[in-house]
């Protein structure tokens, strides 16, 4: 049977969604899919575009891969624009002159950023914000600019302003209307938003009508406004709305709207029956939808129609919840109360700059709209009440007024929602689907995300999805067991608090008071780490000794054959030739395998227990300290050579790396901690893959947090920019101590942050804005740890009693005969099992 050929023009978010849905349909086999993409890559997540400025790469943003397309038999051509449709011939022509026929044509061409026709708009450094290439151009321009202006104070404009701010520019927003986000917000909301944004040092200019862009006096350009005023700037980012890309349809005489947009019916068909239009280029019932969720619905409808289904597109909800420049903003339904006779409730908190408005139907029973600025916690609930046509409570103001105990109003609760209620509109996930996932074993929001995709789009539904999950878990009688182990009915965090608050100093005291039994290899090291973080006592103290893993106990890393490796600290990776020689001599004398580690230091492997003290005596004499390679503690601060030598370096990255390593060495934590400092944005130290990453810029240090390599690599998030040395260390002090205090056992910083309610933003609140008022406390705690530091090895080799521990046998001077080495590449390595058998047999024969 001949397959039906579907040609998709545009491989953006919606075009890709269409293809994905098509491939997932039961009839997938009966179709051939071809797609032309004008951009140099397949679909990526435009919604998360701004995260590019906080560390995401183009690869992170990809929604699919060429592999996926190839293995599913989808033909794709990148960098290929379709220039003409010939509906009468059922074919299209591309820019390179290629002609391609189709049975069904799907237009998913999206939209382009509207640039007002101002004289001077076509100069360099006048940019738009839509594609990855745009982002690259913005980054490049920002590097040569000090001041940046965003034209347009709508949703995208504010996001663009955020980007400029992140790039370190003095940022301005110029808006034609009298307020920000005029489409989504009412006057009250717009005002509060403006105040909040101005506090962040973004200058807002409303009611400014730009007339022309001319050469500036102080800056590159000057923007002249209709009212005679002007603004000087080095770069301009236009974000003055979008226009549907309907030129192909228009030239092929398909019907288009008066103000643009390809007219479609409820099945997403255009005026030519075998041509569909979906996403931002489509005009349905006189409306263009500039959001991704309605586009996804259209994709679904078009697939359904092509495969013989009956789905219809009947409009979409335009409610949005966003974080703009860290300010929470949400708008639901009829935000402007345009419905005749609509009633409103407004809650305004001038001190905390919170604005909330409820718009009710004329009978006061139904919620038809809402505006929330500064606090959007109730968004999920309100949206559900609105979308599901539920009755509001007797006193509707309850929905937005904070409860008297300071907790946010809880609204109606997720239990009241019908199973069909859409929780995640980005991925069209219903309450029922989430509950199902819980019944199938999901108990964390991470599992919900991977099983249902809910929360992986704009992220706006995560709080609500979590509530649904928790409520379902409770219903199933599942109590998520967060106990550390059978000996302690507490989490690590809870134990940490108990230890601190009750000033508990020993494991025995803790288990007697709050636990049961003897303890195990889970709780003992955990408690040892807590005691060390809190009081930073000497880890070789007798009471602590039985709690430690062998690595901590012998202060070396056990290898597969029971020998140990030795990693002296080489702060910042800087080492003198003399010290290098010592390492070489020690390695040679004790016959150790030596290797440069991935952490810019040198590891000596294969030491027998009873050699450790002598080896360390030599190392300590030469000025080395322990590198804590064995502990859940600060490992390395990787550095690049920085401004001292490198022609591009802007600050002394080695100096800072050493300062950081010296400060935090010895800190015990829930998991290991890795740092790096780069001397410029070329990032040779790979700081963005570390728990704490520091990158030098012209305006000071940029701080990144919560990255890691390892099993599940994660890019660090940009945390703060333009820091001087003191502020940098202050933030790191607070960040680390807060992590030490609140993270779970073996939770690295990334996982910890992902599980913190409020995530990165909350962390910034705590560390930068000191929202909890514990900043000084955290710094003091850190100072105490810093002051109590001692090199564990140095203290140990001075203590004859402790050195006894390093005997191989309590009753013999003999060495461990299970340790057998063979030679490879001129160094030792542990014998493998085969070699071991052969070796043992031959020595036995010899002695026999």
**What kind and span of H or E run contains 435?**
helix 431-439
Rule CB under 6 A: choose which of 13, 386, 442, 448 binds ligand FAD: 13
Burial (CB count <10 Å: 0-12, 13-18, 19+), residue 769? exposed
Judged by CB under 6 A, the chain residues 313 through 372 that form the site for ligand FAD are: 322
Asked if 295 contacts 278 with a C-beta cutoff of 8 angstroms, the reply is yes
- Among ligand FES, ligand FAD, other proteins, none, what does residue 663 contact (CB within 5–8 Å per kind)? none
- Give phi and psi for 459, each to the nearest 5: 85, -5
Q: Does 641 bind ligand SF4 (CB under 6 A)?
A: yes
Tokens describing residue 544? 């602590």
- Among ligand SF4, ligand SRM, ligand FES, none, what does residue 603 contact (CB within 5–8 Å per kind)? ligand SRM
- Among ligand SRM, ligand SF4, ligand FAD, none, what does residue 595 contact (CB within 5–8 Å per kind)? ligand SRM
Long-range Cβ pairs for the range 202-205 (8 Å, 24+): 202/161, 202/165, 202/171, 202/172, 202/173, 202/325, 203/171, 203/172, 203/173, 204/153, 204/172, 204/173, 204/175, 204/180, 205/172, 205/173, 205/174, 205/175, 205/231
- In angstroms, the CA 9 to CA 17 distance is 13
Q: Does 810 bind other proteins (CB under 8 A)?
A: yes
Q: Does 517 bind other proteins (CB under 8 A)?
A: yes
Binding span for ligand SF4 by CB under 6 A among 202-210, 397-405, 421-429, 675-683: 675-683
Binding span for ligand FAD by CB under 6 A among 287-295, 334-342, 499-507, 618-626: 287-295
- In angstroms, the CA 543 to CA 582 distance is 34
Nearest residue (CB) to ligand SF4, 290 versus 649 = 649
Binding span for ligand FAD by CB under 6 A among 32-40, 143-151, 169-177, 780-788: 32-40
- Among ligand FAD, ligand SRM, ligand SF4, none, what does residue 679 contact (CB within 5–8 Å per kind)? ligand SF4
- Give phi and psi for 151, each to the nearest 5: -95, 115
- Among ligand SF4, other proteins, ligand SRM, none, what does residue 519 contact (CB within 5–8 Å per kind)? other proteins
Q: Does 653 bind ligand SF4 (CB under 6 A)?
A: yes
Nearest residue (CB) to ligand FAD, 260 versus 679 = 260
Q: Does 130 bind ligand FAD (CB under 6 A)?
A: yes
- In angstroms, the CA 337 to CA 202 distance is 29
- How many C-beta neighbours within 10 Å does residue 56 have? 17
Q: Does 455 bind ligand FES (CB under 6 A)?
A: yes
Query: How far is C-alpha 765 from the geometric centre of its chain's CA atoms?
Result: 16
Q: Which x/- pattern over 258-297 shows residues binding ligand SF4 (rule: CB under 6 A)?
A: ----------------------------------------
- Among ligand SF4, ligand SRM, ligand FES, none, what does residue 457 contact (CB within 5–8 Å per kind)? ligand FES
Asked if 22 contacts 8 with a C-beta cutoff of 8 angstroms, the reply is no
Q: Does 521 bind ligand SRM (CB under 6 A)?
A: no
Rule CB under 8 A: choose which of 833, 834, 845, 846 binds other proteins: 833
- For tokens 């490198």, name the residue: 646
Q: Does 644 bind ligand SF4 (CB under 6 A)?
A: no
Tokens describing residue 3? 């397959």
To 10 degrees, what angle do helices 507-514 and 492-501 make? 110
- In angstroms, the CA 815 to CA 590 distance is 14
Nearest residue (CB) to ligand FES, 463 versus 651 = 463
Long-range Cβ pairs for the range 143-147 (8 Å, 24+): 143/167, 144/234, 145/169, 145/220, 145/233, 145/234, 145/235, 146/170, 146/219, 146/234, 147/171, 147/172, 147/219, 147/232, 147/233, 147/234, 147/235
Least separation in angstroms between residue 571's CB and ligand SF4 is 17
Nearest residue (CB) to other proteins, 576 versus 812 = 812
Nearby residues of 494 by Cβ (< 8 Å), 6 or more positions away: none
Number of residues that bind other proteins (CB under 8 A): 37
Judged by CB under 6 A, the chain residues 407 through 446 that form the site for ligand FES are: 424-426
Rule CB under 6 A: choose which of 417, 684, 737, 767 binds ligand SF4: 684
Tokens describing residue 461? 């539904």
Least separation in angstroms between residue 456's CB and ligand FES is 6
Task: Give the residue from 176, 164, 196, 166 showing the smallest Cα distance to 372.
Answer: 196
Rule CB under 6 A: choose which of 124, 413, 546, 598 binds ligand SRM: 598
Rule CB under 8 A: choose which of 316, 558, 746, 803 binds other proteins: 558
- In angstroms, the CA 582 to CA 827 distance is 18
Q: Does 295 bind ligand FAD (CB under 6 A)?
A: yes
- Among ligand SRM, ligand SF4, other proteins, none, what does residue 578 contact (CB within 5–8 Å per kind)? none
- In angstroms, the CA 636 to CA 598 distance is 10
- In angstroms, the CA 352 to CA 485 distance is 42
Judged by CB under 6 A, the chain residues 662 through 721 that form the site for ligand SRM are: 672, 674, 708-711
Largest CA distance in the chain: 106
Residue nearest to ligand FAD (CB): 12
- Beta strand 282-284 pairing with 262-264: parallel
Nearest residue (CB) to ligand FAD, 322 versus 703 = 322
Interface residues toward ligand SRM, by CB under 6 A:
557, 559, 565, 567, 595, 597-599, 601, 603, 629, 635-636, 672, 674, 708-711, 748
Task: Give the footprint of ligand FAD on this chain (CB under 6 A).
Answer: 9-15, 36-39, 46-47, 49-50, 81-82, 108-110, 129-130, 156, 159, 245, 248, 279-280, 290-293, 295, 322, 458
Residues that bind ligand FES (CB under 6 A): 424-426, 454-461
């Amino acid at each position: 049977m001949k397959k039906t050929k579907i040609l998709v023009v545009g491989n953006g978010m919606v075009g890709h969604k269409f293809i994905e849905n098509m491939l997932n349909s039961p009839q997938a086999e009966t179709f051939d899919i071809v797609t032309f993409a004008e951009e140099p890559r397949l679909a990526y997540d435009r919604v998360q575009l701004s995260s590019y400025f906080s560390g995401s790469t183009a690869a992170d943003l990809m929604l699919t891969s060429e592999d996926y397309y190839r293995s599913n038999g989808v033909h794709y051509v990148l960098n290929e624009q379709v220039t003409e449709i010939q509906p009468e011939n059922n074919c299209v022509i591309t820019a390179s002159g290629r002609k391609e026929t189709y049975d069904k044509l799907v237009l998913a061409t999206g939209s382009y950023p509207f640039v007002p026709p101002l004289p001077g708009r076509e100069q360099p450094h006048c940019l738009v914000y839509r594609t990855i290439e745009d982002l690259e151009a913005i980054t490049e321009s920002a590097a040569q600019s000090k001041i940046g202006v965003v034209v347009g104070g709508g949703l995208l404009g504010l996001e663009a302003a955020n980007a400029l701010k992140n790039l370190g520019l003095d940022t301005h927003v110029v808006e034609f209307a009298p307020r920000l986000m005029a489409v989504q917000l009412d006057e009250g909301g717009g005002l509060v938003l403006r105040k909040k944004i101005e506090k962040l040092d973004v200058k807002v200019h409303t009611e400014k009508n730009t007339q022309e862009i001319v050469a500036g006096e102080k800056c590159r350009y000057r923007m002249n406004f209709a009212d005679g005023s002007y603004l000087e700037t080095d770069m301009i980012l236009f974000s003055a709305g979008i226009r549907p890309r309907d030129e192909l349809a228009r030239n092929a005489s398909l019907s288009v709207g008066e103000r643009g947009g390809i007219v479609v019916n409820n099945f997403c068909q255009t005026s030519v029956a075998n041509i569909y239009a979906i996403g931002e280029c489509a005009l349905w019932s006189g409306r263009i939808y500039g959001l991704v969720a309605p586009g996804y619905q259209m994709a679904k409808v078009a697939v359904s129609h092509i495969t013989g289904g009956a789905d219809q597109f009947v409009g979409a909800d335009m409610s949005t919840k966003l974080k703009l420049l860290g300010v929470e903003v949400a708008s639901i339904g009829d935000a402007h109360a345009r419905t005749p006779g609509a009633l409103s409730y407004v809650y305004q908190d001038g001190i905390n700059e919170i604005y909330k408005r409820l718009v009710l139907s004329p009978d006061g029973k139904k919620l038809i709209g809402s505006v929330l600025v500064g606090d959007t916690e109730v968004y999920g609930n309100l949206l559900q009440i609105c979308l599901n046509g539920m009755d509001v409570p007797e006193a509707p103001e309850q929905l937005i007024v904070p409860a008297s105990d300071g907790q946010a109003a809880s609204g109606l609760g997720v239990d009241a929602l019908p199973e069909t209620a859409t929780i995640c509109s980005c991925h069209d996930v219903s309450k029922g689907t989430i509950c199902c996932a819980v019944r199938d074993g999901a108990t964390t929001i991470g599992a919900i995300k991977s099983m249902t995709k809910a929360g992986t789009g704009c992220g706006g539904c995560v709080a609500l999805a979590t509530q649904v999950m928790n409520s379902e878990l409770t219903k199933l009688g599942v109590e998520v067991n967060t106990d550390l182990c059978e000996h302690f009915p507490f989490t690590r965090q809870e134990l940490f608090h108990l230890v601190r608050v009750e000033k508990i100093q020993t494991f025995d005291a803790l288990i007697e008071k709050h636990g049961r039994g003897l303890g195990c290899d889970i709780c003992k090291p955990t408690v040892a780490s807590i005691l060390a973080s809190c009081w930073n006592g000497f880890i070789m103290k007798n009471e602590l000794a039985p709690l430690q893993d062998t690595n901590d106990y012998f202060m070396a890393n056990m290898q597969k054959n029971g020998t140990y490796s030795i990693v002296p600290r080489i702060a910042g990776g800087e080492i003198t030739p003399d010290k290098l020689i010592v390492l070489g001599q020690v390695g040679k004398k004790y016959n150790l395998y030596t290797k440069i580690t991935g952490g810019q230091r040198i590891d000596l492997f294969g030491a027998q227990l009873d050699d450790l003290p002598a080896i360390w005596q030599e190392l300590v004499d030469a000025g080395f300290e322990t590198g804590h390679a064995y502990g859940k503690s600060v490992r390395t601060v990787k550095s690049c050579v920085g401004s001292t030598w490198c022609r591009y370096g802007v600050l002394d990255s080695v100096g800072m790396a050493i300062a950081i390593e010296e400060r935090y060495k010895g800190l015990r934590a829930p998991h290991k901690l890795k740092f790096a400092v780069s001397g410029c944005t070329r990032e040779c130290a790979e700081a963005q893959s570390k728990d704490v990453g520091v990158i030098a810029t012209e305006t000071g240090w940029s701080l990144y947090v919560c990255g890691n390599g390892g099993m599940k690599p994660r890019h660090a998030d940009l945390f703060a920019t333009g820091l001087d040395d003191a502020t940098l260390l202050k933030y790191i002090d607070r960040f680390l101590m807060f992590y030490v205090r609140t993270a779970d056992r073996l939770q690295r910083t990334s996982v910890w942050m992902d599980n913190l309610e409020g995530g990165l933003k909350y962390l910034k609140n705590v560390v930068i804005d000191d929202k909890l008022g514990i900043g000084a406390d955290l710094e003091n705690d850190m100072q105490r740890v810093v002051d109590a530091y001692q090199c564990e090895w140095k203290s140990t080799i001075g203590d004859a009693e402790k050195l006894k521990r390093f005997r191989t046998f309590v009753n013999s001077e003999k060495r461990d005969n299970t340790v057998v080495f063979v030679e490879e590449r001129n160094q030792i390595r542990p014998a493998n099992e085969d070699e071991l058998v052969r070796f043992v047999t031959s020595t036995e024969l010899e002695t026999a």
